[in-house]
Copies of this chain bind each other. A is one copy, B any other.
Amino acid sequence: MDIHRYLQEKKEKVNSALERYLPKKEKFTLNLHKAIQHSLFAGGKRIRPILSIASFEAVGGKGERILPFACALEMIHTYSLIHDDLPAIDNDDYRRGKPTCHKVFGEATAILAGDGLLTEAFKLMANQPAKDHLSSDGGLILDLINEVAQAAGVLGMVGGQVVDIESEGKAVDLPTIQYIHTHKTGAMILASVRVGAKLGGAQEEILKALSRYGESLGLAFQIVDDILNVEGEADLMGKKTGSDLSKGKATYPSVLGVEESKKRAKELVRLAVDALQPLGPEADPLREIARFVVAREY
Binding site for B on A (CB under 8 A): 23, 26, 28-29, 31-33, 36, 79-80, 83, 86, 88-89, 106-109, 111-112, 114-116, 118-120, 122-123, 126-128, 130, 132-143, 145-146, 149-150, 152-155, 158-159, 161-163, 165-166, 176, 179
Determine if A28 and B179 form an interchain contact, defined as CB atoms under 8 angstroms apart.
yes
Determine if A154 and B120 form an interchain contact, defined as CB atoms under 8 angstroms apart.
yes
Contact sample, A vs B, 29 pairs, CB 8 Å cutoff: A23-B154, A26-B155, A28-B176, A31-B162, A32-B158, A32-B159, A83-B111, A86-B111, A88-B106, A88-B107, A88-B108, A88-B111, A109-B162, A112-B165, A115-B158, A116-B153, A116-B159, A118-B119, A119-B153, A119-B154, A122-B122, A123-B149, A126-B143, A127-B149, A128-B142, A133-B138, A133-B142, A133-B143, A138-B140
**Complex: A163 Cα to B26 Cα, angstroms:** 12
Question: Known contacts A108-B165, A133-B143, A143-B133: does B126 contact A158 (CB below 8 Å)?
Answer: no
Inter-chain contacts of A89 with B (CB < 8 A): 108, 111-112
Inter-chain contacts of A162 with B (CB < 8 A): 29, 31-32, 109, 112
Question: Known contacts A28-B159, A142-B126, A149-B122: does B134 contact A83 (CB below 8 Å)?
Answer: no
Instruction: Say how far A105's CB is from chain B's closest CB, in angstroms.
Output: 10
Question: Known contacts A122-B149, A149-B120: does B158 contact A112 (CB below 8 Å)?
Answer: yes
Inter-chain contacts of A133 with B (CB < 8 A): 138-140, 142-143
Instruction: Say how far A134's CB is from chain B's closest CB, in angstroms.
Output: 5
Inter-chain contacts of A23 with B (CB < 8 A): 153-155
- Rank and list the top 5 A-B pairs by shortest CB-CB distance, nearest first: A138-B138, A133-B139, A123-B149, A88-B107, A126-B145
Determine if A83 and B115 form an interchain contact, defined as CB atoms under 8 angstroms apart.
yes
Kindly identify which residue among B29, B79, B145, B163 contacts A159, using a CB–CB cutoff of 8 Å: B29
Determine if B123 and A146 form an interchain contact, defined as CB atoms under 8 angstroms apart.
yes
**Complex: A126 Cα to B125 Cα, angstroms:** 11
Of listed A130, A132, A145, A162, residue having the most chain B CB within 10 A: A162
Question: Known contacts A114-B115, A115-B83: does B32 contact A154 (CB below 8 Å)?
Answer: yes
Inter-chain contacts of A152 with B (CB < 8 A): 119
Inter-chain contacts of A145 with B (CB < 8 A): 122-123, 126, 145
Of listed A28, A134, A159, residue having the most chain B CB within 10 A: A28
Q: A116-B158, A120-B154, A127-B142 are in contact. List 14 more A-B contacts (CB 8 A).
A: A32-B159, A88-B106, A89-B108, A112-B162, A116-B154, A116-B159, A120-B149, A123-B146, A126-B149, A132-B139, A134-B136, A136-B138, A137-B138, A141-B142
